[in-house]
Chain A
């Protein structure tokens, strides 16, 4: 096994391609979580409706 053909791995044993894929997955997960937060917010507002402002204080 020649050293030139061996993919270079970092301290965690990841190649550059592994790191790229992990970064893509992390970004996708962050986007999905962000969209879920926005969706939960919108759904909450929609379910509460305008009546939420009409209440005894």
Chain B
């Protein structure tokens, strides 16, 4: 770990030396935005919006917009706290080397203060404008991602992203809670879909980037149990995920279009997972992993976008004999 620490200190020192004294912030606006993990934020906004739309209730559009903003900022805050905590390992992984803290553009203390301020502000704001159940769920999500996942699970167990995946699965519930003041089976199913989707998604990336994680000392499944076991686990999780993806239609809050989209995209997801399982060596194996990683994002997007489209565009046609 001395190597990691040295690299971080060297990078930070280089950043400071090339610019101003350490007491002056070196960060540009885009560095602070990068601390919020905008891509993760966009996924959180999307899934929280889905939770709001499938909720059995109504919300004033202004309050709804403000609630989504609060959830997005809360998610960004947890990403910021994650980057603050993980700056040492970010400094040794090629994918994260240029993040603002390891690159020396933002001091760790600045990121910590920024993350805590946004966390507290977003939770209080959501509580005041929507309700305290939604705010409580947002606070728990931030705590789960920043403390339970980042500080505890990530460096301790190869099941880190399995358990930690819950943090990314809460937003639909927060969205529903903001509208109705409660959570239902509908968003519990959306929670389960994201929760089961997370391991195959990240393990596909971990198979390709296992060298990075090994250098950083993060016990990802490919480094601990080997690539073959990881491929088996990816396939098993996908076998659970695909039928689970159909559940919204079976329960009744997804319509006929959703059922068709979930079935077709789920079938392709399974094909991608089977290719990862079968192709174990060389460029074909790497290509299969990237294909699964990329399509898993499309798959989740399709499921949630279809749920939104069915409600917003009036395309909801109940599946005969299924659901409510």
Contacts and interface: CB of A to CB of B under 8 A. Distances in A.
B25 interface: yes
Q: Which of the four size classes fits the interface of chain B?
A: 10 to 19
A18 B63 contact: no
A14 B29 contact: no
A46 interface: yes
Interface residues of A, number: 16
Contact of B20 (A18, A24, A43, A46): A18
A46 B28 contact: no
A14 B60 CA distance: 47
Nearest to B30: A24
B27 interface: yes
A45 B21 CA distance: 46
Interface in A14-46: 14-15, 17-18, 21-22, 24-25, 28, 39, 42-43, 45-46
Given A13-B21, A14-B24, A15-B19, A42 B29 contact: no
A21 B28 contact: yes
A21 B100 CA distance: 14
Given A21-B27, A25-B27, A47-B129, A13 B20 contact: yes
A46 B25 contact: no
Given A39-B69, A46-B62, 11 more contacts: A17-B19, A18-B26, A21-B25, A21-B28, A22-B25, A24-B28, A25-B28, A43-B62, A43-B129, A45-B62, A47-B63
